[in-house]
Amino acid sequence: MITQTTSPPDAADAQRRGHLAALAVAEQILTLSPAIPTTITTHSTKQAAAQSSVEAYFHQSAEGVASLAQALGTAAKTTPFRPGDPRPYVEMDAVVAGVPVKAWALLDIPGPAVAMPEPYACAWCGISLPHGIQHGVGVGGHGWVRPSDAQILARMKARRAARRGGADRG
């Protein structure tokens, strides 16, 4: 005996199918993307016609967003993050297997390059006092750390050499 239901699927079943579709697309993104996203999030609404989507976040990696966009046959665009916040916001939108995909990255404003920090600047990040809590690559959040005597001397010599045109004459 074969039974067929003629009633429409309930909302939970539609949402389940939406999640499965989004998870399948997330798996495709991980397979296709040359750069691995920091976070992949799947969404599915609890509605009769479940709408699913996938969001891929690349931590400060415009290259990651651009490489995924290229792999999906679309382009990434860069805009200011918000009015009054000029940080570069890189995003791309695509549709994969009927599921909307968004990839994004929020970048820091490129600051002036610190060629040589002040002699008594923080040992880890080279920021002078007042320092506050700063984030350093490989160090994480930290307060001001006194530089070593050798670090202070090296910074003084580098600054002197720069003032004299690169030639350290003693």
Burial bucket for residue 24 (CB in 10 Å: 0-12, 13-18, 19+):
middle
Check residue 71 and give its pLDDT: 94
- Sorted by where each begins, the domain ranges of the chain are 11-106, 112-170
Q: Is the pLDDT of residue 103 over 90?
A: yes
For residues 76 and 65, the answer to whether their CB atoms sit within 8 Å is yes
**Lowest mean per-residue pLDDT among 33-37, 96-100, 113-117, 133-137:** 113-117
Quick check: pTM over 0.95?
Answer: no
Average pLDDT over residues 134-139: 70
Residue 39 CA to residue 129 CA, distance in Å, equals: 35
Name the β-bridge partners of 57: 39, 104
pLDDT confidence of 166, banded at 50, 70, 90? low
pLDDT of residue 135: 72
Among 30-34, 52-56, 80-84, 96-100, the minimum mean pLDDT is found in: 80-84
Second-level CATH architecture of 11-106: 2-Layer Sandwich (3.30)
- Higher per-residue pLDDT: 40 or 141: 40
User: Once rounded to an integer, what is the mean pLDDT over residues 111-118?
Assistant: 64
